[in-house]
Amino acid sequence: MFKFCQKHVLTIFLKIFMKNLFKILVSLLLTTNTILADEIKVFDFTETELSKLEVRKVRGADNKTIYTVGTNENGNFLKSVAENAASGLGKEIKIDLNKTPFINITWKIEKDLSGIKENTKKGHDYAARVFVIKKTGATPLSNRAINYVFSSNNEVGSNWPSPYTKKSIDNVLASTKNNLNEWITVKANVKDDFKKFHNLDVNQLDGLAIMSDTDNSKMKSIAYFQNIYFSTE
């Protein structure tokens, strides 16, 4: 009788344990999926991806920026070398800014553009910049953009309209005055910035572009981009 009861109790215990274990595993999986959904990665920085992205040279530039991919202990990265050059890598991507309003960028400047005046046409070059774009009309010229830049000459927090169009705002998220030749991760609230700089309530982002350009200054820059993604906070 004792053996039967002992066996019966053990069976019940195992059933309860397995049932609870299943609940725990489901909960963990749901939590993991939630975390993944809360972060939207924009680029993989692989050879395959790079071959599919169009390198668009800026009109009037003598050369294209050279983009290559590599890997370090933190994953894949994109290297840009711009020598009297200007071209970008663009990607059409829909980002719900109500859910994931923050852009996160990990980048590094190896060779900067010290001495230029970045808010003028002759000096409007950046070793590293990331554009976020909102379509606001039928043509690209009507679009609004925020240009998050790694400045070579200005302090973090500085901002001004592009000397070429007021529909694009340059906003300094990093500066080689503080971080030259070292990786740094920055964050910005894109939804808030569109309201601040363009007085627009933007719910969805339409595209993003990376660029390194030196066509105005005729100088050379070397930069790296890694782990660009959008997050809830």
pLDDT of residue 68: 97
Determine how β-strand 204-213 pairs with β-strand 66-72: unpaired
Q: Following CA atoms 22, 27, 29, 31 in sequence, which dihedral angle do they give, to the nearest 10 degrees? A: -170
Q: For residue 151, is pLDDT > 70?
A: yes
87-116 average pLDDT score: 96
* Average pLDDT of the segment spanning 111-134: 97
Q: Is the pLDDT of residue 83 over 60?
A: yes
Mean pLDDT of the chain: 87
User: Coil, strand, or helix at residue 219?
Assistant: coil
3 state DSSP class of 191:
helix
If DSSP codes are grouped into helix, strand and coil, which group holds residue 85?
strand
Q: Topology of 40-231 in CATH?
A: Jelly Rolls (2.60.120)
* Torsions phi, psi for 50 (to 5 deg): -60, -35
Query: What pLDDT does 25 receive?
Result: 35
Strand residues in the chain grouped as ranges (E): 39-41, 55-57, 66-72, 75-83, 86-96, 102-111, 126-134, 144-151, 159-161, 168-175, 184-189, 204-213, 220-231
Q: What is the DSSP letter of 18?
A: H
Instruction: Supply the pLDDT for residue 37.
Output: 54
Indicate if the pLDDT at residue 149 is higher than 80: yes
Q: Count CB atoms within 10 A of the CB of residue 86.
A: 24
Task: Enter the pTM of the model.
Answer: 0.82
Question: How many other β-carbons are positioned within 10 Å of the β-carbon of residue 221?
Answer: 25
Q: Indicate the pLDDT class of residue 185, thresholds 50, 70 and 90.
A: very high
What is the residue extent of each domain of the chain?
1-37, 40-231
| CA pair distance 109, 97, nearest whole angstrom | 28
CB atoms within 10 A of CB 14: 10
pLDDT of residue 29: 33
Query: What is the three-class DSSP state of 195?
Result: helix
Q: Tell me: the pLDDT tens digits for 12-39?
A: 434 443 444 334 333 333 333 333 458 9
60, pLDDT greater than 70: yes
27-to-20, 33, 39, 191 alpha-carbon distances in Å = 10, 10, 19, 31
Q: How confident is residue 153, by pLDDT bands cut at 50, 70 and 90?
A: very high
- Of 34-48, 67-81, 195-209, 213-227, the one with minimum mean pLDDT is 34-48
Lowest-pLDDT range, 19-28, 112-121, 180-189? Answer: 19-28
Looking at the DSSP bridge assignments, the partners of residue 207 are 92, 133
Of all residues in the chain, what percent are helix, strand and coil, respectively (each to 5)? 25, 45, 35
The DSSP bridge partners found for residue 150 are 128, 174
- Decide the pairing of beta strands 144-151 and 220-231: unpaired
Q: Which helix (H) or strand (E) holds 157?
A: none
Percent of the chain surpassing pLDDT 90: 78
